């Protein structure tokens, strides 16, 4: 990649060690002659990343999710440095960032373009999600009946606690916790996983990239909650379907040159490998 000449730091000040780390990385950037700006606002105003060559996010995956929409719109790669827990998106550890930041500024990284979801819930209600779109009744304790169409074809009607529509990137988040599949991030598909369905045969469904999904609320006297990446909610017009598709925009996510998705999955999920019986 081309060298980074202008950089934005987005730091979650509530994460342990994040402020100390950003001071160290900012010093490296200054010594390399890189212009930079810094904010602790994780919901960036529109245009904040314009003119930047990269955005270094220091925090957890939730911090990165808050920056994702603006990064995708500005086409600015995110360098995610983990100061949270799992860190599927913030794949650089603090030690790796300290050791390799000069090389990163020199362009020693690759960019993965991650698919996002486009969700509309009626006139004027529209948003992007990197991980997932959650549809459920706005009252947590209530079951909901949801009818799903893929293009113009009826898929099925669910009675469940809700539905998760996940990107490949988000397949290791809420989707995985609900029993959904792990999907390689290069697959621009949509995984639909019901939450606690009242039919044992209801399982996850994988839809092709260019599908247009529509979800209708068939529950009497009920209003839906539509949560984008678990951070932002969309209001749902009473009679309008929730429409979901793969977005035209992609999130540019910076990775180490030797990045391996399955190496990250093995480490984060603590896969131990197979049992080998001794002779």
Residue pair 244/167 in contact (Cβ under 8 Å)? The answer is no
Residues contacting 165, CB < 8 A, separation 6+: 117, 119, 132, 133, 134, 135, 190, 191, 192, 213, 244
CB atoms within 10 A of CB 177: 11
Calpha distance 97→11 (Å, rounded): 14
DSSP 8-state class, residue 180: P
Find where tokens 């093995």 sit: 266
3-state secondary structure of 89: coil
Q: Which residues are catalytic?
A: 61
3-state secondary structure of 2: coil
């Amino acid at each position: 990649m081309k060298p980074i000449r202008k950089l934005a730091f987005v730091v979650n000040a509530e994460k342990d060690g994040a402020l100390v780390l950003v001071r160290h990385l900012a010093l490296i950037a200054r010594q390399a002659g890189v212009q930079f700006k810094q904010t602790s606002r994780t919901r960036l105003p529109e245009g904040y990343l314009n003119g930047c060559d990269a955005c270094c996010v220091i925090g957890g995956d939730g911090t990165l999710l808050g920056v994702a929409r603006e990064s995708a719109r500005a086409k600015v790669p995110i360098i995610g440095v983990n100061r949270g827990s799992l860190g599927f998106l913030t794949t650089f550890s603090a030690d790796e960032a300290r050791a390799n930041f000069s090389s990163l500024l020199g362009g020693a990284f690759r960019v993965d373009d991650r698919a996002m979801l486009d969700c509309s819930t009626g006139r004027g209600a529209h948003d992007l999600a990197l991980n997932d779109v959650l549809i459920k009744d706005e009252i947590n304790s209530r079951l909901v009946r949801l009818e799903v169409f893929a293009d113009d074809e009826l898929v099925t009607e669910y009675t469940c606690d809700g539905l998760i529509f996940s990107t490949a990137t988000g397949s290791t988040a809420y989707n995985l916790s609900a029993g959904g599949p792990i999907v390689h991030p290069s697959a621009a598909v949509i995984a639909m996983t019901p939450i606690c369905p009242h039919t044992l045969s209801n399982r996850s469904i994988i839809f092709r990239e260019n599908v247009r999904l529509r979800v209708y609320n068939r529950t009497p006297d009920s209003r839906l909650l539509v949560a984008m990446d678990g951070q932002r909610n969309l209001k749902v017009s009473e009679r309008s379907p929730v429409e979901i598709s793969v977005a035209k925009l992609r999130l540019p996510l910076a990775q180490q040159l030797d990045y391996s998705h399955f190496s990250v999955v093995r480490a984060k999920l603590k896969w131990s490998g197979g049992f080998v019986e001794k002779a």
